[in-house]
Each structure stands twice: as structure tokens, then as C-alpha cells.
């Protein structure tokens, strides 16, 4: 209590901050309507609440979305770039990395040990989450058993922004080690254009030939980018 003139007034440190009502309304809207009921910056707000509980994070969320262009680009941005934004520290970076890791685990759970050819959209979603926002080109091989269930997803190589060296003999050797009878090749184009290059086509042809000789079928080769994906099989290249 303190005295002000002739009146006694009370103060308490438990007074709610001015933004608490906004937070509760946003949480309620999200619980009722899900992700479609909130904008990208509001979804980011919900994540930032746990990282920065005593500050209005709406301005920060808007600034981050404007800087990186989208929710997905923000969540997958490198740590050094995230920390270029004033107000972003280790706690915020950790919160975003947790979201990214959870998304990958959820996507992985939908295809691991399951027939991927009959669940193609889940496979595309998984590949997109894994590779679309990588800054360097990566080459992955998905190894399948006789029932086309996913045995393993392994990164074979990582290269520069536009080139990754791939060795067909090593790909097929690894397939035999895992007792895989089929493979799906996947790599990303950080440039954003999923169109296969001439080198992509030639490398795919050599892997298909090497696999055919040893009983390892090549089902497809997917090129992933932020703008979408390309299937060699759909293009008639396999």
C-alpha cells in the first residue's frame, strides 16, 4: 500500500501486462480453428510466447516474417541470420529449432516402415520438409524393401549451392548392404527451380543401370525446391 494525497492505493506485481488479453484471444482462436484461423505471424507469435513470456512478441513476429518472407522460411532460417533480428536470442532460436525438428519427426513417422508408393503425397511432404529449405545441394537415397517399405533415408553427399558429386557404385553398394531391393533418389535445388539439369539426368541413368545389374530397382528421382518438386518418372526420364 502507498499513500497518495489523502487516499490509499494498492499496487501488485501480479497485474497482467497489456498484451495478455491479446494472447488469450489468439490462443482461443487457434484452439477453435487450428492453423487456418491464424495468419503466419500469429502462428509465430504462439511459438514465441514460451520463449519470451514477459514481452509483447507481436511486433517481433511480424518483423521476422517480413524479413524472411514466410513462416517456413523463418523457422528454417540459419541461426546467424535469425540473430540479425533485434530481440532474437538463443531461446528464440531453440524454440524455432524445436518446431522444425517436430515437423520432421511427424513427417518421418508417416512414411517410415510403410509402403511409400501407396502413400506418395506423404513421401513428397517428407522430402519437402527435409530438403526444400537447405542452403546447399544435398543428395539423399531412400532405401526400400521388397514391399516398398522405407528402410532408411540416408544423405549420400552434400555439395555447393548448385552441385553435388554422386557416385553410382557407392549408392548401389549401400543398397546391397541394407538388403534394399529398390531405391528412390532425392536431391534439392537451392536455386528454387526443380527442373533437372543435364548432369542430373546422366547421373540418374548411370545409377539405374548399375542397380539393374544387381537387382536394385530405381523407382524415381525427385528434385525438391521451395517452389515445388519434379519427378523423373512423371517426366518420362525413368
Provide the phi-psi class of 5: left if phi over 0, else alpha when psi is between -120 and 50, else beta: left
pLDDT computed for residue 17 by the predictor: 61
**What pLDDT, on the 0 to 100 scale, is given for residue 18?**
63
Closest to 154 in 3D by CA, of 137, 167, 171: 171
pLDDT over 70, % of the chain: 89
Q: What is the largest CA-CA distance in the chain?
A: 97
pLDDT of 117:
86
Task: Give the residue carrying C-alpha cell 517480413.
Answer: 66
CB 90 within 8 A of CB 77: no
Write down the residue that cell numbers 548411370 correspond to: 206
Phi/psi at 227 (5° precision): -90, -5
How long is the chain? Answer: 238
What pLDDT was estimated at residue 127?
Answer: 93
Please state whether beta strands 7-9 and 182-188 pair in parallel, antiparallel, or not at all (unpaired): unpaired
Model confidence pLDDT, tens digit, residues 173-204: 999 999 999 999 999 999 888 999 898 999 99
- pLDDT at residue 8, as a whole number: 43
pLDDT of residue 84: 93
User: Looking at the predicted structure, is the pLDDT value of residue 45 above 50?
Assistant: yes
**Which residues have CB under 8 Å from 36's CB, separation 6+?**
none
- Cell 554422386: give the residue: 166
Region of poorest pLDDT, from 44-48, 49-53, 229-233 = 49-53
- Which residues, other chains included, contact 124 with Cβ-Cβ below 8 Å and sequence gap of 6+? 222, 229
The set of residues, in sequence order, having a beta carbon less than 8 Å from that of 208 and lying 6+ positions away, is 218, 238
What would the CATH number be for the domain defined by 115-231?
Answer: 3.40.140.10
Higher pLDDT, 157 or 234: 234
Amino acid at each position: 500500500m502507498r499513500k497518495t494525497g489523502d487516499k490509499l492505493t494498492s499496487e501488485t506485481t501480479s497485474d497482467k501486462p497489456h498484451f495478455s488479453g491479446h494472447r488469450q484471444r489468439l490462443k482461443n482462436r487457434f484452439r477453435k480453428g487450428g492453423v487456418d484461423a491464424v495468419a503466419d505471424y500469429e502462428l509465430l507469435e504462439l511459438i514465441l510466447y514460451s520463449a519470451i513470456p514477459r514481452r509483447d512478441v507481436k511486433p517481433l513476429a511480424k518483423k521476422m516474417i517480413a524479413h524472411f518472407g514466410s513462416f517456413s522460411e523463418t523457422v528454417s532460417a540459419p541461426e546467424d541470420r535469425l540473430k540479425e533480428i533485434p530481440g532474437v536470442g538463443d531461446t528464440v532460436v531453440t524454440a524455432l529449432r524445436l518446431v522444425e525438428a517436430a515437423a520432421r519427426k511427424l513427417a518421418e513417422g508417416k512414411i517410415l516402415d510403410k509402403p511409400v508408393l501407396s502413400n506418395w503425397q506423404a513421401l513428397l511432404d517428407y522430402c519437402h520438409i527435409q530438403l526444400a529449405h537447405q542452403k546447399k545441394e544435398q543428395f539423399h537415397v531412400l532405401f526400400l524393401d521388397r514391399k516398398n517399405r522405407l528402410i532408411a533415408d540416408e544423405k549420400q553427399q552434400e555439395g555447393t549451392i548448385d552441385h553435388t558429386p554422386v557416385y553410382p557404385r557407392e549408392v548401389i553398394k549401400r543398397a546391397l548392404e541394407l538388403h534394399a531391393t529398390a531405391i528412390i533418389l532425392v536431391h534439392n535445388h537451392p536455386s528454387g527451380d526443380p527442373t533437372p539439369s543435364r548432369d542430373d539426368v546422366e547421373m540418374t541413368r548411370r545409377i539405374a543401370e548399375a542397380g539393374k545389374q544387381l537387382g536394385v530397382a530405381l523407382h524415381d528421382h525427385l528434385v525438391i525446391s521451395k517452389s515445388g518438386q519434379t519427378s523423373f518418372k512423371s517426366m518420362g526420364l525413368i
